[in-house]
Each structure stands twice: as C-alpha cells, then as structure tokens.
C-alpha cells in the first residue's frame, strides 16, 4: 500500500503518482469528496443607506481640502457645492406626516406670514393645502415641537431611508399642526393656490399675507377666493367675476403677477385677466381647448398658456396701437393630432385661437399640458409636462425649431394632472408619477438622480419653501420640498 501524498493520487496499474486536477476518471464517488467544494455564497447585505451618503460626502470634503472648491469628479472638474447637492438629491430623506390624508392632494403652498396676535406682530410659517373634496386647510409649520390648544399635531415618521437600512435616530426637520376643521368647505375641487404678491430677498422684505384660491366648479361654475392670514382668525372672501368673463366656466389653474394686482386664470373657455381688488376681468385668450396650465412671464406683460390639445401659446397683454385691449385677433393654428396608439398622425389639423399671440412661436407637446413653469435665472427657458409622461425644457428663442433643449426621461403619467416642482437654486426637477414613484432630475444635464416609492398614491403636487432669505444663504446647500397625495403630506430633504 503506497502512502498518500497531499495533492496526488496513486495509480496501481501504472505504478505512479498523478496530481489531482479535477475528477479522477473511473474513480469512485467517495474519491470525489477529496476535491474542495465552493461554499454557498452569502446573501449580500444592503449597504447602510445613510452610511453610503455620508461616505460619498466625506470623499468630496476630502477632495475639497486638497483641491479647493473646484474638485476632480469622474475625470472632470466640478464645483464642490454642486456635487454635494447632487449627493443629497440622489439620497433624499423623506418624512410622512400623520393625520394629513385627503387634505393636500390637489394644491399645496407654503409661505411666511406676519400675524397680528395679542402679543404683537408674529412671523409664522404656514402650509395651505387643498383637497379634491373642496376642503382648504391651514397648517402651522415650525422647526420646534410646540403645544397649541385646539389643534391636532401631525406626527412625522421617517419613510426614507428605510428603517431596515438605517439605524440612525433623526429628528424631524419640520413639525406641522392642523386645525380640527378646515377653514373652507367648497362645493368642488380646489384647483390652485397661489401667493398674491412675491417678497424679495432683502432683509426688510414683507411676507406675503394673502393667497388666491380657485375651485373647478361642480356644474361648470368655478369660484375665486381671497385668503387673508394676517389675523389670528383667517379671513376668506369670495371674489365675484365681473366684466366679460363668464361665471359659467371651469377654473383649472391660476397665477398672480409679481405686484399682486392681477391674476390670470385658465378656464374651459380660454384665459382671462382678473383685477383682484374689483373682480373685473376680461379674456386675453379665447380657445375651445381648455387652458390647463399658465404662468406669468417675469415682466408681467406675457402669460404662457398650456392647452388641453398640447399647444403652448404666449399671449401678450400689452395694448397694440389702434387696437385697444381686450379686442382679440383671430388665428388659425396648425397642429398634429395624436392617435389612440400614441403615434402622431401625418394629417395636420387646425384650431382657432383669439388673442395677441405669434403663431410661429407656438410650442407643441404630445398630449394635454399638466404643468408649466419658467426659470427665474433665465426667463427664456420654459419647462412643460404633458399627460403622456413627457417633460421638456424649451428655449423660447429656439421654438421655431420645435424641439426642446433638454428632455427628462423616466417620468410616468397617462391621465393625471401632476404638478412638478423646481428647487430654488434651479438645479433639480422634482415630480411624482402615476406609478407612485417620486423622481428627481438634474435640470442642466437631464440625468435622473433618484427614484423612490414611499407612497401608495400619486404625489400630485409639489411646493418649495418661500423663505427667500433662507434660499440665498451661502451656507445653505439643501432645500426641503412638500409633496401632497391622497395618502398623506410628505417632506423631502
């Protein structure tokens, strides 16, 4: 009997040793046990969510210490502050507030107010929420947990990152309270909430104390309300439409000019300009296609209107010599209709518009408009979304070419009027989707930074903080956003 040598086996017929390189031909099954078996791979554990974010941030800080504010990233030079903001956008923190279901799924707006109380003038943060049931709720917002009489505290719960991926205890960035009863119970869905007048970024700026509230109208009779929050008891007054603006119309959307003197409303009959003090109004755009979205240009002379048929037109409010406003010019606009399969037909159709517009500057989206916003840093850029899930950024100096300068892929929508949000630094785009996911894109590059599902209903409205002084702080690198859905109100950082 020949002795066994490690790594070799003995062949009696050939009377020699052979190295073990694999299964031995003709050997018994017992000999196969000599070969090593690979252990079962261990299940991969997900990296701690917060640890992953902190690790990337530490690498950026380390690079800044070596290179200054301009650091190398992926073989390119980039600004340190921009990269930190991208890290925050890629790994957001989300809080869900209890007792806020069915109160903010159609309109949401946060702003600062100076309220006259028994102890004097007090500055407060409030969140005004509108629901599909016609309820308007005013929520108090504070960074400190306080005790209020007669109000309900909405307990914040962290929903992102997931608890199983993050063991770090964190305090909520904002606490909110709601009154036991809404301040308004309308007969129809609240369609929009807009601030009347906008404060600047100076230290002596005055907060906005009034808001414009519009409703769809249960039987085609939309309503306009003015909300005054300068007193402890909120005052809500109805503003009756006068002039040639029909009261038998559905009000889909609204926007106020910078001075707060006038508002533009989008209806099923066109777009009208309304004097907020007198209620007198007149149409500056007449169309058989509903105006779903609109926004004032920063100059206050132009209103961008997004129609149900997918067209975006810019109406000039200034009077023409010899043609006094509101006399409107008729235009025949040519557009491409979409078939049921989503493919664009070759046959071009015509629709009629009345207003002071330039037909050659009309922009066409594939489907009905859902939201429309201009960038404040450059008012030549216009961002629009449609119900087929398309989100595009247009340069109004290049609209004759008919293409957007940037497209944001990944958005999901088929039939919902979803409002997107642009952060105060105008670097990121935030929007919910029909699939209940919330996505963040880089406005400049179009890159999808993150997509997360933390709600079982569509996050249909977005608003950012209106605290201008906080936006302009040089050490501020992140801004929170409020999202409203049927399930709850969320705060995203």
Q: Identify whether the C-beta of residue 418 lies closer than 8 Å to the C-beta of residue 371.
A: yes
Joined together, the tokens standing for residue 248 give: 């038998």
Q: What's the rounded mean pLDDT across residues 75-100?
A: 84
H or E element at residue 158: strand 156-160
Phi, psi of 361, deg, nearest 5: -105, 15
Show the DSSP H helices in 327-396 as ranges: none
What's the CA gap between 2 and 18, in Å, rounded?
A: 13
Check residue 25 and report its DSSP letter. Answer: T
Question: pTM above the 0.85 mark?
Answer: no
The residue assigned the tokens 């099923």 is 268
Stretch 204-223: mean pLDDT = 79
Copy the structure tokens of residue 390: 């398309």
Over residues 330-354, the pLDDT tens digits come to: 888 776 555 444 454 445 678 889 9
**Residue 371 pLDDT:** 95
As to burial, measured by CB atoms within 10 angstroms (0-12 exposed, 13-18 middle, 19+ buried), residue 152 is middle
**How far is residue 197's CA from residue 341's CA, in Å, rounded to a whole number?**
44
Segment 401-425, tens digit of pLDDT? 667 899 999 999 998 999 999 998 8
Q: What angle do CA 240, 209, 464 make, to 5 degrees?
A: 105
Closest CA to 481 of 426, 424, 433, 402: 424
Half-sphere exposure of 28 (CA within 13 A, CB side): 2
pLDDT band for 147, please (50, 70, 90 cuts): low
More confident residue, 335 or 363: 363
Which SS3 state, helix, strand or coil, does residue 67 take? Answer: helix
What pLDDT score was predicted for residue 491? 92
Structure confidence at residue 336 (pLDDT): 55
Taking Cα atoms as reference points, which of 95, 132, 129 lies closest to residue 463? 129
Nearest to 479 by CA among 427, 408, 403: 427
Mean pLDDT of the chain: 79
Instruction: Say what the pLDDT of residue 489 is.
Output: 94
CA distance 328 to 121: 47
């Amino acid at each position: 009997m020949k002795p066994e040598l490690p790594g070799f086996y003995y062949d009696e017929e050939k009377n020699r040793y052979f190295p073990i390189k694999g299964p031995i031909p003709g050997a018994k099954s017992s000999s196969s046990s000599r070969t090593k078996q690979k252990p079962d791979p261990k299940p991969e554990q997900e990296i701690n969510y917060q640890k992953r974010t902190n690790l990337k941030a530490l690498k950026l800080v380390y690079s800044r210490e070596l290179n200054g504010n301009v650091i190398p990233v992926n073989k390119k030079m980039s600004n340190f502050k921009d990269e930190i903001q991208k890290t925050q956008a890629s790994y957001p923190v989300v809080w869900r507030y209890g007792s806020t279901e069915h109160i903010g799924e159609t309109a949401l707006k946060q702003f600062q107010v100076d309220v006259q109380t028994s102890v004097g003038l007090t500055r407060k943060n409030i969140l005004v929420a509108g629901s599909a049931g016609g309820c308007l709720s005013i929520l108090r917002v504070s960074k400190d947990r306080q005790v209020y009489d007669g109000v309900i505290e909405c307990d914040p719960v962290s929903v992102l990152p997931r608890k199983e991926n993050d063991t770090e205890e964190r305090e909520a960035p904002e606490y909110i309270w709601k009154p036991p009863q809404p301040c308004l119970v309308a007969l129809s869905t609240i369609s929009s909430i807009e601030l009347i007048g906008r404060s600047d970024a100076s230290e002596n700026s005055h907060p906005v104390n009034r808001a414009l509230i519009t409703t769809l109208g249960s039987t085609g009779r939309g309503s306009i309300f003015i909300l005054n929050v300068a007193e402890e008891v909120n005052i809500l007054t109805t503003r009756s439409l006068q002039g040639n603006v029909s009261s038998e119309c559905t009000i889909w959307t609204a926007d106020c000019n910078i001075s707060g003197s006038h508002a533009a409303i989008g209806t099923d009959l066109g777009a009208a300009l309304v004097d907020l003090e007198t209620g007198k109004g007149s149409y500056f755009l007449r169309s058989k296609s509903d105006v779903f979205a609109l926004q004032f240009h920063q100059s206050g002379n132009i209103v961008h209107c997004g129609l149900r048929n997918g067209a975006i037109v810019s109406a000039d409010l200034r009077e023409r010599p010899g043609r006094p406003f509101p006399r409107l010019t008729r235009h025949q606009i040519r557009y491409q209709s979409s078939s049921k399969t989503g493919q664009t037909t070759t046959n071009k159709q015509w629709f009629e518009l009345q207003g002071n517009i330039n037909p050659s500057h009309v922009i066409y989206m594939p489907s009905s408009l859902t939201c429309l916003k201009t960038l404040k840093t450059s008012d030549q850029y216009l961002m629009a979304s449609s119900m087929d899930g398309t989100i595009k950024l247009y340069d109004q100096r290049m609209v004759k070419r008919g293409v957007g300068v940037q497209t944001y892929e990944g958005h999901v929508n088929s039939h919902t009027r979803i409002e997107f949000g642009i952060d105060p630094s105008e670097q990121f785009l935030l929007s919910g989707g029909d699939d209940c996911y919330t996505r963040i894109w880089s406005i400049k590059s179009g890159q999808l930074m993150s997509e997360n599902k933390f709600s079982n209903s569509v996050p249909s409205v977005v608003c950012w903080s209106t605290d201008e002084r906080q936006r302009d702080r040089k050490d501020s690198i992140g801004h929170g956003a409020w999202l409203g859905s049927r399930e709850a109100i969320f705060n995203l950082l």
